[in-house]
Amino acid sequence: MKVRALALLRRPTVRQTIPDTQVKLERIEYNMDGIPMKQKDIKNLIEFATKLLVARCLPGDIRSLFYPDVNHNFHIVVKPDGRAAVLVADVDYPTQSGVSGAMGLLKDPNNVPNLSREIQRLQDPSEADKFIKLQKEIDEVKMIMVENIDKILERGEKIDDLVAQSEELDTAAKSFYKGSKKMKGCC
Amino acid sequence: MSSESPSSQPKPGASPQSIIVSRVRQLSAKVLGEALEKIAGTILIVTENSVINALEITVGTPFLKERSVEGFGLIQMESPNTQAQNLVFLINPTLPNIHRVMSIAKHTTGKKFHILFIPNELPFCKQILKDNGMANTFSRQITNWHWIALDNDLLTLDMPFVFRYTAVDGDWSPLYFLSSGILDILSVTKPRTLTRILAKGDLSSFVADRILDGLTKSDKRTPTEEDNDLPQINNLILLDRSVDLVTPTATQLTYLGLIDETVGIETGCIQGDFGPEGKKIRFFLRPNDQILREIQDKSFNAVGRSLHQKALEIAEKEKSYKDQTDMNKLRTFVKELEDLTQQHQNLAIHTKLAERTRGIISERRFHEQLEVEQSLFEQTDSIGVGGTTGSSITNAGLGGEKVPNSSAAEYIEDKMGLGVSPWKALRLMSLYTQCCTIKQKVYDNLKAAFVQTYGFHHVHTLWNAELAGILRNPGKESGEAERDKGGVWNYAKTVKNLKAVVDDDDEINPRDFAYTYASYAPISVRLVQYAFSPQRGWGLPAVDDTLRLHTTGEKHTHRLTYNTSVITASSSINLSTLLDPSATTDSRHTTQSQSHQNTTFVSVSTDTPDTLTPLSTSSVTLVVFIGGITYAEIAALRQLQKILNTTIVIATTSIITGSRLCESMKETIRNRLSWNPQMGISKR
């Protein structure tokens, strides 16, 4: 689960698809951990794909696109003012985190974030997404709770044993009515 | 396990019984709190085990801690070891209790002593303390604490000595407690709604008179607007235990009944190794125990099925959370978890109790005994008991010569030979002598065998049992018949008139309440049933013949004519001035609906009226058993309530079993000449 690249771009605010030459790549930061060779080729490919995809998105779009040639997801946010951010991550990276990560880069129009720091932070998808973080905490609580419920329920007699015991009680029932009158009748 | 606050308010929409009972419980908590708050400093309550249970049920531990109670001591101890400044003896005013209290006070120093009487003091207490020079050792207080609420419709005074005191010793003082207790119950209901009192037996008539006295003194106020929300009690039925001694001597076959017979229930508490991993626990029977609610009144044979169903339900619920991803559902589950684990624990305990009991009753001798009992109910004395008791020893030399054609007698003698407890043997003898017309010789032989088996001191036991009517001496019975034809016990006639033997009911889905004793519907509960019946009501000669009081106790025979005291509401004969001095002539001729406002009590006692209007089933009836009630009878009353679709509140002096009733006949004998091996060892 990795974020491969973060990019900040700018495109014209026209509401139509444009040639990718009109998209200006402002800054880009890569994370090439775990890729031993051809790093440069991949970088080029990502750069090209980023521009191409942003060119095809309209201002105000939020998209998560899979680009098969690179085998990565491109999480794209284009603001109505033409600023765009792209978070490139592998397919394991949660879409929700990718989109909110990209959106986080565009939070403040006057302050350009430090991409090299951001890319480190965003490697953990929960960091990217407060919701995911919360969800993770809830899951943890849930797990602990379920464990504790298990412990509580295992205290004392097991319910399965009680089911078996009570069934035995039922089958062992022997009528209290001796029916002596009827017996006398047949003798 | 004690999560429920005992004095909690009833939920809205609760049954009228539970509202009445919870109001009575609140009253009990109030008077107890007041009594304890009068004592300054820390407190150790010294009392009997049953009272400790009663306190747990009535107020609970936090309530007592708030009132600086540090702990409990048992009254049987010589001297309690405690830091508390006060020893508070919370006791019924009985002679043994007073003696124990004095003994503890003699052996303890540096404490203040208080006696709190439940519910009230008797004059002899003060006198005995004075005679022993201890009149100033104690501060004495009355609590007016009468009732212990065992269930939402069940109140008990928990005074097991009442039957013995009244039937053998001729001491009727506990009846004053009962009367004031009943007035207490009436005081938490809407005033002047009690319109009819039916009483059967000497003690009941006595109590009925006390209640009438009390009502004329206290119930003068007319109901106000606020009183309209209060629950009502419209009818009061009082029954002497001695009216029906057959029922307690038979074996109870409902869940709680059998538990009481085998394991024993003391004031709503079962003690034993029924906890997890066989731990010893005190398990309280609480009204909010849903599993208990389900099974308590069922025939024991239906209990397994109910428990199994409950177990399956709980198992399904417990597993439901495992693959639960929906947070909301999980939240609901956690909310229910406390209740679920409580049910799980209760299920485990009830299953263990049921298994233990099943172990006892699946033995051959238990079914043998049932067979004997059932043939006695049907008065077929010579049914083949011998045939089923293949193992029984010969009775030669045990009870003298062999008596022909009475195998029940043989069976009882065999039982004695096999070493059953004297009380079980006495119980069987009681059932035998009550159900069958037996020969004097047979009776005498049984008595002789009893004394030979269990010891000479049981001469007193047998004498007391005859006095109380537990044993019916055939000789005396006939002699009395000549003197007073109305008062003779006639089992055959009673059973026939009351249809008490029903041998085709269903144990699982009963139509009648005969399932509580398998083929025998308790006479006592039939009597209650016929109070509601237009065809077979009280007062009709055909039925009333058998309703005559059956006590054969020699002490009270002169009162035998005083058997059906009927107190009815009537606007034609008016004693309303007793109750309401401002009542005018006009108000006496009121319509039926208004007569609630101007209830008048007319005692038609002593003379049995020709007819008696049946009680209305839409009213609320308080049924009081004087001298004790069995759990099976309680189950039968609840079943009757279902059949009639009416509302019944049950009150009694104590919960009994036949064995406990028989045991109360024993006499403590102090004989200086008798050799006591323990004394010999302990003395140097």
Binning pLDDT at 50, 70 and 90, where does residue A21 land? confident
Instruction: Show residues of chain A in contact with B310, CB under 8 Å.
Output: 166
pLDDT at B518: 85
* Of residues A148 and B652, more confidently modeled: B652
If you average pLDDT over residues B257-281, what whole number do you get? Answer: 91
Whether omega before B534 lies within 30 degrees of 0, making that bond cis, reads no
Query: 3-state DSSP call for residue B260?
Result: helix
A178 and B519 within 8 Å at the Cβ level: the answer is: yes
Name the residue among B253, B333, B341 with its Cβ closest to that of A176: B253
A178 and B380 within 8 Å at the Cβ level: the answer is: no
pLDDT at B636: 95
Select the highest-mean-pLDDT range: B266-280, B392-406, B597-611: B266-280
pLDDT at A176: 82
Select the highest-mean-pLDDT range: B53-67, B216-230, B264-278: B53-67
If you average pLDDT over residues A9-22, what whole number do you get? Answer: 88
Binning pLDDT at 50, 70 and 90, where does residue B226 land? confident
If you average pLDDT over residues B10-30, what whole number do you get? Answer: 86
CB B298 within 8 A of CB B254: yes
Instruction: Show residues of chain A in contact with B303, CB under 8 Å.
Output: 169
pLDDT at B56: 94
C-alpha closest to that of B162 among B552, B551, B628:
B628
* Of residues B404 and B96, more confidently modeled: B96
pLDDT at B227: 74
pLDDT at B597: 31
- Whether B665 shows a pLDDT value over 90: the answer reads yes
pLDDT at A75: 92
- Whether B540 shows a pLDDT value over 70: the answer reads no
Neighbour count for residue B313 (Cβ, 10 Å): 12
Instruction: Show residues of chain A in contact with B503, CB under 8 Å.
Output: 177, 179-182
Binning pLDDT at 50, 70 and 90, where does residue B88 land? very high
The whole-angstrom separation of Cα B160 and Cα A127 is 73
Closest approach of A126 to chain B, Cα-based (Å): 20
**Beta strand residue intervals within chain A, DSSP E:** 3-10, 24-30, 62-67, 72-78, 83-89
In this prediction, the answer to ipTM > 0.90 reads no
Binning pLDDT at 50, 70 and 90, where does residue B228 land? confident
pLDDT at B490: 75
CB B445 within 8 A of CB B403: yes
List phi, psi (to 5°) of B399. Answer: -120, 35
Instruction: Average the pLDDT over each of A47-61, B245-259, B461-475, B588-602 and give the range with the smallest value.
Output: B588-602
* Of residues B310 and B213, more confidently modeled: B310
Neighbour count for residue A38 (Cβ, 10 Å): 11
* Of residues A7 and B535, more confidently modeled: A7
**Beta strand residue intervals within B570-636, DSSP E:** 601-603, 620-626
**Residue ranges of B 457-516 with Cβ closer than 8 A to chain A:** 503, 505, 507
pLDDT at A128: 65
- Whether A108 shows a pLDDT value over 90: the answer reads no
A180 and B375 within 8 Å at the Cβ level: the answer is: yes
If you average pLDDT over residues A115-128, what whole number do you get? Answer: 82
CB B579 within 8 A of CB B215: yes
Interface test with B, best of A145, A154, A159, A160 (most B CBs within 10 A): A159
Query: 3-state DSSP call for residue B676?
Result: coil
The whole-angstrom separation of Cα B124 and Cα B95 is 8
CB distance from B67 to chain A under 8 Å? no
- Whether B49 shows a pLDDT value over 90: the answer reads yes
If you average pLDDT over residues B575-593, what whole number do you get? Answer: 31
Binning pLDDT at 50, 70 and 90, where does residue B491 land? confident
Q: How far is CA B61 from CA B2, B54, B65, in A?
A: 9, 11, 6
Closest approach of B646 to chain A, Cα-based (Å): 29
CATH 3.40.50.2060 maps onto chain B at 1-145
Q: How far is CA B675 from CA B444, B455, B682, in A?
A: 29, 14, 13
pLDDT in tens, B602-612: 333 333 344 45
Strand ordering across the sheet containing A3-10? A24-30, A3-10, A83-89, A72-78, A62-67
Instruction: Show residues of chain B in contact with A170, CB under 8 Å.
Output: 304-305, 307-308
- Whether B565 shows a pLDDT value over 80: the answer reads no
Interface test with B, best of A140, A180, A184, A187 (most B CBs within 10 A): A180
If you average pLDDT over residues A66-94, what whole number do you get? Answer: 88
- Amino acid identity of residue A107, one-letter, is K
Neighbour count for residue A74 (Cβ, 10 Å): 26
- Whether B120 shows a pLDDT value over 70: the answer reads yes
Query: 3-state DSSP call for residue B266?
Result: strand
CATH 3.90.830.10 maps onto chain B at 255-321+333-361
pLDDT at B199: 80
pLDDT at B439: 86
Select the highest-mean-pLDDT range: B124-128, B221-225, B558-562: B124-128
Helices (runs of H) and strands (runs of E) counted in chain A: 7, 5
pLDDT at B479: 47
C-alpha closest to that of B578 among B215, B223, B194:
B215
Sign of CA dihedral B292, B294, B298, B301: negative
* Of residues B8 and B283, more confidently modeled: B283
Interface test with A, best of B305, B313, B342, B389 (most A CBs within 10 A): B305
Residue linked to tokens 């038979």: B250
pLDDT at B535: 67
The CATH number for B1-145, chosen from 3.40.50.300, 3.40.50.1970, 1.10.3720.10, 3.40.50.2060, is 3.40.50.2060
B307 and A153 within 8 Å at the Cβ level: the answer is: no
Binning pLDDT at 50, 70 and 90, where does residue B642 land? very high
Task: Give percent above pLDDT 90 in chain B.
Answer: 43
Domain spans in chain A, listed from the N-terminal domain onward: 3-123, 129-172
CB B344 within 8 A of CB B318: yes
**HSE toward the beta carbon, residue B519, CA cutoff 13 A:** 21
The fold for domain A3-123 equals Beta-Lactamase (3.30.450)
- Whether B381 shows a pLDDT value over 60: the answer reads no
Query: 3-state DSSP call for residue B642?
Result: helix
Binning pLDDT at 50, 70 and 90, where does residue B356 land? very high
Query: Does domain B255-321+333-361 fall into CATH 3.40.50.720?
Result: no
Instruction: Show residues of chain B in contact with A155, CB under 8 Å.
Output: 276, 341
- Whether B615 shows a pLDDT value over 60: the answer reads yes
- Whether A20 shows a pLDDT value over 60: the answer reads yes
Sequence-distant (6+) residues with CB within 8 A of B627 are B162, B163, B166, B167, B203, B240, B241, B242, B653, B656
CB A109 within 8 A of CB A101: no
A170 and B330 within 8 Å at the Cβ level: the answer is: no
